[in-house]
Amino acid sequence: MKILVVGGTGTLGKVVVEALRKKHEVITAGSKSGDVQVDITDLASIQQVFEQVGTLDALVVTAGGAAMAPVQQLTEAHFYKGIRSKMMGQINLALVGQTYLNPGGSITLTSGILAEDPIANGAVLTTINSAVNGFVLGAAGELVKSQLRINVVSPGLVEASAEALGEYFPGHVPVPMAQVASAYVKSVEGILTGQIIRVV
Ligand SMILES: NC(=O)c1ccc[n+]([C@@H]2O[C@H](COP(=O)([O-])OP(=O)(O)OC[C@H]3O[C@@H](n4cnc5c(N)ncnc54)[C@H](OP(=O)(O)O)[C@@H]3O)[C@@H](O)[C@H]2O)c1
């Protein structure tokens, strides 16, 4: 399969790419790094990257950020940052990407466990992750008509981020990187659609 991994140079993306490269042709994308560049907050940039890479068998997204702050300090601006990046960045990749995917192809997005297991300062991420999960649930049934599958991987704090982020996730047990990679392989190579693939 020919697979585009947006965010393929990041902490999660690197292990996902390593696992997919065993069997597939993988193109990585980042805003500054990767085989090709795209800014997921910019729709024109998304359209341009698909024109550049052409027809695909799978799209995987492991990119998209959101602000963290105490709820007492949150403003609309904090939310819009996450909406433009992790939410609409991924949704726009899926919306534009569907026309570049071959029949039988798949889309795999990334949310995160904060959708249902919140932490302090994480209200924006809880909101955005839930929205990404919601898009996948809402879109999957109709994408059947296009012979496309769509899933979202929802990882817990991953082992490679535990040193940097562990203090913000009290009591969370970091998830092994191999387990994270396997969830994306399952989504790309398996038969699931409309699923939130939780890795905890
Ligand atoms: N780390 C965790 O424990 C964890 C757990 C659950 C969920 N997640 C979610 O998984 C996703 C990836 O997390 P991560 O820890 O792997 O992040 P990361 O290490 O910061 O990697 C982010 C990746 O996205 C790319 N990127 C950043 N901004 C971009 C933009 N505007 N347009 C296109 N590409 C962009 C980066 O490449 P460039 O630098 O070249 O832009 C990089 O490849 C995030 O949505 C995060 O919320 C992470």
| CA of 157, closest atom in ligand 1 | 3
CATH of the domain at 68: 3.40.50.720
Q: 11 CB less than 6 Å from ligand 1?
A: yes
Amino acid in position 198: R
How far apart are alpha carbons 123 and 130 in whole angstroms?
Answer: 11
Instruction: Work out the average pLDDT over 44-68.
Output: 98
Confidence of residue 195 (pLDDT cuts 50, 70, 90): very high
Number of domains in the chain: 1
pLDDT at 119 (0 to 100):
98
32 ligand 1 Cβ < 6 A: yes
pLDDT at 99: 98
Q: Does ligand 1 lie within 6 Å of residue 45's CB atom?
A: no
How high is the pLDDT of residue 70?
A: 98
| C-alpha span between 151 and 138 (Å, rounded) | 11
198 strand-pairing partners: 154
Q: List the domain range (segments joined by +) for residue 161.
A: 2-199
Q: How far is CA 22 from the centre of its chain?
A: 20
pLDDT at 37: 98
Residue closest to 152 by CA, chosen among 51, 61, 79? 61
Measured at the alpha carbon of residue 38, what is the angle toward residues 28 and 195, in degrees to the nearest 5?
65
Mean pLDDT, rounded, of the chain: 98
CA distances, 35 to each of 17, 65, 141, 174, 198 (Å): 12, 21, 32, 29, 28
Instruction: Give the pLDDT confidence score for residue 129 in this predicted structure.
Output: 98
Ligand 1 close to Cβ of residue 122 (< 6 A): no
- Position of tokens 């996902």? 16
Q: What atom in ligand 1 is closest to the CA of residue 86?
A: 45
In this predicted model, what pLDDT tens digit does every residue of 126-181 receive, in sequence order?
A: 999 999 999 999 999 999 999 999 999 999 999 999 999 999 999 999 999 999 99
Name the pairing type of β-strands 2-6 and 56-61: parallel
* Amino acid letter, residue 60: V
